[in-house]
Structure 1
Amino acid sequence: MSWQFEEEELVDVLEDEKEDEGRTLVVFNDEVNSFDHVIDTLIKVCKHERVQAEQCTYIIHFNGKCQVKKGTYEKLKPMKEGILDAGINAVIN
């Protein structure tokens, strides 16, 4: 059995994969969760170092949101669910 693909099809597949890797996990500010809760959640769910989690939390507080992680949708989805389960609003863009 021989597989033959058009060059255009291969380019489309590679572009789709590249685009998927460019996803970002964004966390939003709210008036409910404490700094410590957000920091602890980013450490636990996103595997941030404490300093990185603290910096992201300050960005979230002052700018209303922060891109806390980049990657594929498949990699970011469980992180998003973990953040949502902690009561913090997050989306994948």
Structure 2
Amino acid sequence: MSVQEEVLEELLTDKQETRQNEIVVFNDDVNTFDYVIDMLMNACDHDPLQAEQCTMLIHYKGKCTVKTGDYDDLEPRCSALLQAGLSAEIQ
């Protein structure tokens, strides 16, 4: 294996190890803006502005990454969003 191949393999391995999971919330026709904002503040510890911006992205783009981190931290947050009636998943 050449030096370039070794460096490339090391970079790819490092990138995969540092990749974090993310909660993605999807748009729906059921929940109001205010409700989604409140749920993002409660479940994801967003401040009001951050929650509002994410809600706008969810509405206009169809989805938004609302939180990144370790799976163990994200799982209860995603569960809270799902229990609140939002469409969310960890990717």
* TM-score under structure 2 length normalisation: 0.81
Number of aligned pairs? 79
- How many angstroms apart in 2 are the aligned matches of 1:28 and 1:39? 13
| In 2, Cα distance between equivalents of 1:28 and 1:82 | 15
Report percent identity of matched pairs: 48
Amino acid at match of 1:89: S
Query: Partner residue of 1:39?
Result: 37
Structure 1: stretches of 5+ with no match in the other structure? 1-10
Moved over 6 A (4+): none
Q: Which stretches in structure 2 are left out of the alignment for 5+ residues?
A: 1-9
Q: What do you get for the CA RMSD once the two structures are aligned?
A: 1.6
Cα distance, 1:77 vs. partner? 0.2
Provide, for residues 22-63 of structure 1, a one-character-per-residue CA deviation record: whole Å limited to 9, x for no partner. Answer: 111000000000000000000011010000000000000000
Q: CA deviation at 1:17?
A: 5.1
TM-score, reference length from structure 1 = 0.79
What letter is aligned with 2:65? Q
